[in-house]
């Protein structure tokens, strides 16, 4: 099996694994160099509760009865709540655009700072493990190209720690890897998030190519499954999907020429 059939059904439970990717001003992943950039894993994920924005209906009443109605697109933003089970200093700082710092040997995070309202945009990938209607393992995922994630600290009580991210997905004209949406291919030109189903667990990796290298390694612990069919590589700035002049393996991608700029791969691995 290579591509999940259009008619296949999926069901699952809580979240399996999730990642956040702080973005540059142009919406690109902050890959620093030619080493594989995996974003920040959100460890201990529990529940991801999405509340899509609701539209409204305007009705026309005449002669004491309904004469017609007009549906209006949502006028408010979609929201989501994401609960996690671990304090994660690096993740927390990245989400609010600050730094961690030490006093003695203690690791600190400033909270409710003057950065409120100026938190950076991040891309998020939230993955759920489940089954298809035939009982085979599948992975569903939400891809949010542009959002803000505001952390709400958890209480100290008799229960296990639970911290909550308040998520506000924003509208984007591009996928996380830089490909623009078009009517011809996608049926629309912008979205707030994408819903996808995979045979194996999806992963996103970025590299900042320097115009010298032609070989880019995948993360050692996450080799690709069926890279010829399940691994896609894009050039973020142009949105080009590399179909030729490239050799893909379980451990790396090799170009027939040198490349420069942000490269982003979307592939599947076996957890």
Which fold does the domain 10-54+70-197 belong to in CATH? Pnp Oxidase; Chain A (2.30.110)
Q: Is the pLDDT of residue 1 over 80?
A: no
E-strand stretches of 110-243: 122-132, 137-152, 163-169, 194-198, 201-210, 215-217, 232-235, 240-241
Mean pLDDT of 167-192: 95
Q: What is the pLDDT of residues 193-241, one digit of tens each?
A: 999 999 999 999 999 999 999 999 999 999 999 999 999 999 999 999 9
pTM for the whole structure: 0.91
How far apart CA 159 and CA 105 sit, in angstroms, is 27
Q: CA 150 to CA 166: how far, in whole Å? A: 5
Domain ranges across the chain: 10-54+70-197
pLDDT bin (cut points 50, 70, 90) of residue 2 is confident
Q: What are the backbone dihedrals phi and psi of residue 92, each rounded to the nearest 5 degrees, phi first?
A: -60, -45
Assign residue 63 a region: left if phi > 0, alpha if psi is -120 to 50, beta otherwise?
Answer: left
Residue among 175, 170, 196, 142 nearest 79 (CA): 170
pLDDT tens figures, 19-72: 999 999 999 999 999 999 999 999 988 999 999 888 999 999 999 999 999 999
CA dist., res. 235 & res. 238, Å (int) = 6
Is a pLDDT exceeding 90 seen at residue 155? no
Res 77: pLDDT: 87
CA gap 244, 233 in Å, rounded:
11
**pLDDT band, very low/low/confident/very high, at 115 (cuts 50, 70, 90):** confident
């Amino acid at each position: 099996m290579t591509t999940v059939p259009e008619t296949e059904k999926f069901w699952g439970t809580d979240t399996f694994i999730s990642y956040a990717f702080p973005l540059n001003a142009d919406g690109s992943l902050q890959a620093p160099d030619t080493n594989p950039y995996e974003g920040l894993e959100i460890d201990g994920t529990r529940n991801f509760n999405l509340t899509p924005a609701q539209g409204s209906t305007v009705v026309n009443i005449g002669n004491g009865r309904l004469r017609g109605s007009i549906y209006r697109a949502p006028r408010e933003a979609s929201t989501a709540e994401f609960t996690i089970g671990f304090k994660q200093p690096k993740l927390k700082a990245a989400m609010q655009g600050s730094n961690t710092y030490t006093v003695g040997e203690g690791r600190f995070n400033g909270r409710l700072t003057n950065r409120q309202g100026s938190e950076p945009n991040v891309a998020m990938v939230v993955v759920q493990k489940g089954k298809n209607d035939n009982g085979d393992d599948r992975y569903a995922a939400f891809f949010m190209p542009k959002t803000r994630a505001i952390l709400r600290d958890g209480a100290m009580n008799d229960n296990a720690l639970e911290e909550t991210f308040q998520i506000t997905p924003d509208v984007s004209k591009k996928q996380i890897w830089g490909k623009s949406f078009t009517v011809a291919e996608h049926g629309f030109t912008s979205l707030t998030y994408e819903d996808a189903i995979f045979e194996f667990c999806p992963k996103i990796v970025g590299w900042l190519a320097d115009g010298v290298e032609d070989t880019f390694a995948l993360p050692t612990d996450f080799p690709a499954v069926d890279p010829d069919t399940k691994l896609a590589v894009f050039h973020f700035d142009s949105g080009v999907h590399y179909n030729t002049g490239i050799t893909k393996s379980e451990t790396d991608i090799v170009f027939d020429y040198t490349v420069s700029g942000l490269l982003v791969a979307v592939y599947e691995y076996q957890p």
